[in-house]
């Protein structure tokens, strides 16, 4: 038996979908409420990283800041044994600098920069199609660090309790003294 949707019911279905998506975003009380697909397409809940200090970064493979992958991997390797993790979120929002498929992004990260930290599937970090996680990070997580993502390699530091405690703009490299000091501070807590 097939069901034919009328334009009236399609409109209601679309409105319900938009409402549920918005409700999910606004119902979130921490980053642990979000589940996104990994670069391999499998669900990877952020709650898997509960109790760790997390650096969330929107990444791109054709950006002037792309060499930051080296510093990201270096600090990941240095601190991962202490409960630190980096979560990379490829995004194509700025100048088409992440045009590849998830498979191409994964290959690029592993062959060019030997990335071992978790990478998620490509997301949108701003605009009408903004991923709910980024809606949360840029509006609700911590008003002190709210605001649109302005470019690739914006970094959010999350403490062991899931609170956004610092935001670093793209020009601030992952291995800069201020980022390292913040990571070390929250690793001690």
pLDDT at 121: 98
Cα 118 from Cα 162, distance rounded (Å): 17
- Which one of the listed residues 46, 59, 63, 179 is annotated catalytic? 63
107-113 long-range contacts, CB within 8 A, separation 24+:
108/61, 109/39, 109/61, 109/69, 112/61, 112/69, 113/69, 113/70, 113/73
The predicted model scores a pTM of 0.85
pLDDT at 28: 76
Whether residue 20 has pLDDT greater than 90? no
pLDDT for 42-57, tens place per residue?
Answer: 999 999 999 999 999 9
Does the annotation mark 109 as catalytic?
no
Q: Are 91 and 63 in contact (CB under 8 A)?
A: no
- CB atoms under 10 Å from CB of 146, counted, come to 13
Least confident of 48-52, 125-129, 142-146: 142-146
Cα 99 from Cα 96, distance rounded (Å): 6
CATH code of the region 7-187: 3.40.30.10
Task: Share the mean pLDDT of the chain.
Answer: 89
The torsion defined by the Cα of 92, 98, 101 and 102, in degrees rounded to 10, comes to -90
pLDDT for 61-100, tens place per residue?
Answer: 999 999 999 999 999 999 999 999 999 999 999 999 999 9
Task: Show me where the domains of the chain are located.
Answer: 7-187
% of the chain at pLDDT higher than 90: 81
Q: How many residues does the chain have?
A: 189
CA 64, distance to chain mean position in Å, is 19
Which 3 state secondary structure label does DSSP give 28?
coil
pLDDT for 103-123, tens place per residue?
Answer: 999 999 999 999 999 999 999
Which 3 state secondary structure label does DSSP give 37?
strand
pLDDT at 22: 47
Whether residue 13 has pLDDT greater than 50? no
pLDDT at 34: 96
Q: Which structure tokens are listed for 79? A: 């601190």
């Amino acid at each position: 038996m097939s069901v034919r949707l009328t334009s009236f019911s399609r409109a209601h279905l679309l409105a319900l979908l938009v409402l549920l998506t918005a409700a999910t975003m606004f119902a979130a009380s921490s980053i642990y409420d979000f589940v996104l697909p990994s670069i391999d397409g499998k669900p990877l809940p952020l709650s898997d990283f509960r109790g760790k200090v997390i650096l969330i970064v929107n990444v791109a493979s054709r950006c002037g800041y792309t060499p930051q992958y080296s510093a990201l991997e270096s600090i990941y390797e240095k601190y991962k044994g202490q409960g630190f993790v980096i979560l990379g979120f490829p995004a194509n929002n700025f100048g088409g600098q992440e045009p590849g498929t998830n498979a191409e992004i994964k290959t690029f990260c592993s062959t060019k920069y030997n990335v071992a930290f978790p990478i998620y599937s490509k997301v949108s970090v701003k605009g009408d199609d903004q991923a709910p996680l980024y809606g949360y990070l840029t509006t609700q997580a911590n008003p002190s660090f709210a605001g649109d993502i302005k470019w690739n390699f914006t970094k959010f530091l999350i403490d062991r309790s899931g609170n956004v405690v610092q935001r670093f703009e793209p020009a601030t490299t992952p291995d800069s003294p201020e980022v390292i000091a913040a990571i070390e501070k929250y690793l001690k807590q």
